Homo-oligomer: A and B are copies of this chain.
Amino acid sequence: MSKTIEYTEAIVPYRHEELMAKVAAQLTDKRYQHCLRVEETARQLAADNGVDVELAGIAGLLHDYAKQRDDQTFIQLIKTHGMDPNLVSYGNGVWHGYVGAELIKDELHIYNEPILNAVRLHTVGAPYMTKLDQIIFMADFIEPARDFPGVEAAREATAKSLADGVRFQIQHTLDYLIQKGAPVYPQTLATYNAWVGGVAPQFAN
């Protein structure tokens, strides 16, 4: 299990147990255990897909670092960091990715862009995603304790290919949000259009 991991690369300025403690300090035990499962799932997906396992594990462990901050903290950070002002109209479900990356820089002094971007995108995806981005996106969705109608199909798609997993998840999530009548951040639609709808990513916005 992940508790016995010792880092061998100089990706972050912490030992594994130090980073675990920093994540644990920000979250309920239930959510912290989710982070450990995402770490483990991300390491497995990395091994299966030729991605650096230690890098993927760190991104997985960190992905929900900011999840339990209050809304005012997120809104303040959106303003002080000059982020898309439209973000304010959405909620924690979008913020803890985009804004979480800023908190990881500010508080943990981790500046590894592949990790930060995987954290940023894990809630909404993107038209272009690196394999690491795809791994964190999928590990969060299919970690062993996840249980929702379709999770087995999601696991099978991801085992076939990361891209199949991403396509499954973004269509499933968008459908879920719309049936609920929940707001959808435009980047979520851009991800869907690029991966499922066959629309070429648009750079001219």
Contact A196/B174 with A86-B202, A186-B189, A189-B186 known, Cβ cut-off 8 Å = no
Contact of A186 among B86, B178, B186, B204 (CB under 8 A): B186
Instruction: For the complex, give the distance between the alpha carbons of A186 and B205 in Å.
Output: 11
Tell me if A171 and B181 are in contact (CB < 8 A). yes
- Whether A198 sits at the interface, judged by CB under 8 Å, is yes
Instruction: For the complex, give the distance between the alpha carbons of A205 and B202 in Å.
Output: 14
Contact A199/B85 with A186-B186, A189-B184, A192-B178 known, Cβ cut-off 8 Å = no
- Of the four ranges (under 10, 10 to 19, 20 to 34, 35 or more), the interface on chain A belongs to 20 to 34
- Whether A144 sits at the interface, judged by CB under 8 Å, is no
Contact A86/B181 with A175-B175, A186-B186, A186-B189 known, Cβ cut-off 8 Å = no
Tell me if B171 and A183 are in contact (CB < 8 A). no
Known: A86-B204, A183-B193. 10 other contacts (CB 8 A): A85-B204, A89-B202, A90-B199, A175-B179, A178-B192, A183-B197, A184-B192, A184-B197, A186-B190, A189-B189
A residues in contact (CB < 8 Å) with B: 85-86, 89-90, 171, 174-175, 178-179, 181-184, 186, 189-190, 192-193, 196-200, 202, 204-205
